[in-house]
Amino acid sequence: MRRTTKASQPLKSKIEVPWDTTGVINADSQVTISLDQISLPPNQPRRYFDPEALKQLTESIKQHGILQPLLVRPLGSGKYEVVAGERRYRSGIEAKLEAAPVVVRELSDDQAFQLALIENLLREDLNPVEETEGILQLLALKLSRSVEEIPPLLYRLQRLQNKASTVTHNVMGAPDSEGDEPTHNVMGETETDNSDLNQEQPLNPDLKIVKEVFDGLGLMTWESFVKNRLPLLNLPEDILDALREGSLEYTKAKAIAQIQKLDERIAFLEQAIAQNWSLSEIRQRISEKKAAASTTNTESNNYKERFTTATTKLRKSRIWSDPKKRKQIEKLLVQLETLTNVE
């Protein structure tokens, strides 16, 4: 699941960096630091790394070394923490390198986390779940809110924008009741000066920040994010895990999430991944499952209807006066009582 939109965007986000970039201790140069002096941050924004991709990077580093320096920040006592370049760091450790080239920059906890987020978001191999969660974390930092507050805020901004768009459309282009030309203002006073309607209204400060973040990343619009990405986080956890691991595409995940029963969904998910079913195959198999379930329910209802009809006829029938038929009814009744006792 690679996205070519990032191919021309190495770490050159247009998002304004909230710290003085002259804080680079070794500026435009790089130094070499022993790997045992470097550690990973406790709260790395990226949680999943493709084992196969790491293995390939490790083999490359064994042959050529780490070509692109890590970005680190000093912790004191000769120790440093990785800000950007965790994959290279992990592969360097696996390749048993003694040292790595680094660029050192003085950064606070929030600044380091934000820079790590931006670096990860501009990677080509980030899966949709990590990308969505990363954007939410970045917005939380920019808006000085918790991550949990961001989705409701985005939905509220979406509603406000839709409402403003509707009002503007009605004011500027709504025909009158007779179907004549649109009136010049919502109150119908044609002599009133409407120049203020054409003036741009002040932008909501939260919306301004949200737009700046998405414009800076250049991955998608904030409207697209709200419409297509936020619902992704409502998927069942087993589906989200498969997405995080990169073993399932987003479109397939949404289709499989339609299966409500957990055990059935997990079994179906494992099959879909193992046999690499296409989206059309997944949809077809889900349709077949629904059709089979519907048929079963229909047959069950048919049995109930037949039983009700039979018992109604039996009550009105004259067979009760026939001793032989009464014995047959008694046998059937015993069988029915046995069946219900077993349940």
Tell me, yes or no, whether 90 lies in a domain: yes
For 14-68, how does the pLDDT look when each residue is reduced to its tens digit (9 = 90+)? 444 443 444 445 544 678 999 999 999 887 666 667 788 888 999 999 998 898 8
50: left (phi over 0), alpha (psi -120 to 50) or beta: beta
Dist. CA 309–CA 325, nearest whole Å: 18
Is pLDDT at 150 greater than 90 in this prediction? yes
Strongest mean pLDDT among 161-165, 242-246, 251-255, 335-339: 251-255
Answer with the residue of higher pLDDT: 244 or 89: 89
What is the pLDDT of the chain when averaged over all its residues?
Answer: 78
Q: Cβ of 150: how many Cβ atoms within 10 Å?
A: 20
> 5 pLDDT exceeds 70?
no
In this predicted structure, what is the pLDDT of residue 1?
A: 42
Note the pLDDT of residue 72: 93
The pTM of the whole model exceeds 0.85: no
Q: Which residues contact 317 (CB under 8 A, 6 or more apart)?
A: none
d(CA 61, CA 88): 8
What mean pLDDT do residues 191-210 have?
66
Task: Return the residue matching tokens 């039996």.
Answer: 314
In the predicted model, what is the mean pLDDT of residues 152-177?
A: 74
The CATH number of the domain holding residue 24 is: 3.90.1530.30
Kindly state whether residue 217 falls inside one of the protein's structural domains. Answer: no
Question: Any idea which of 80-94, 136-150, 191-205 has the lowest mean pLDDT?
Answer: 191-205
Kindly tell me if the per-residue pLDDT of 192 is higher than 70.
no
In a domain, 319, yes or no: no
pLDDT at 193 over 70: no
Is residue 13 a part of any domain in this protein?
Answer: no
Q: Looking at the domain assignment, is residue 76 inside a domain?
A: yes
pLDDT of residue 2: 40
What integer pLDDT is reported at residue 299 of this predicted model? 52
> In angstroms, rounded to a whole number, what is the distance separating the alpha carbons of residues 116 and 246?
20
* Cβ atoms 238, 266 nearer than 8 A: yes
Domain annotation covers residue 3 = no
Residue 338, in any domain of the structure: no
**Domain boundaries, position 59:** 20-107
Sign (positive/negative) of CA torsion 183, 187, 189, 195?
negative
More confident residue, 313 or 113: 113
Residue 117 belongs to a domain:
no
Domain tally, the chain: 1
Report the pLDDT value the prediction gives residue 334, as an integer from 0 to 100: 77
DSSP string, 188-207: --TTS--GGGGSPPPPPHHH
Q: What is the pLDDT of residue 218?
A: 86
Of 9 and 54, more confident? 54
Cα–Cα distance between 132 and 148 in angstroms, integer? 13
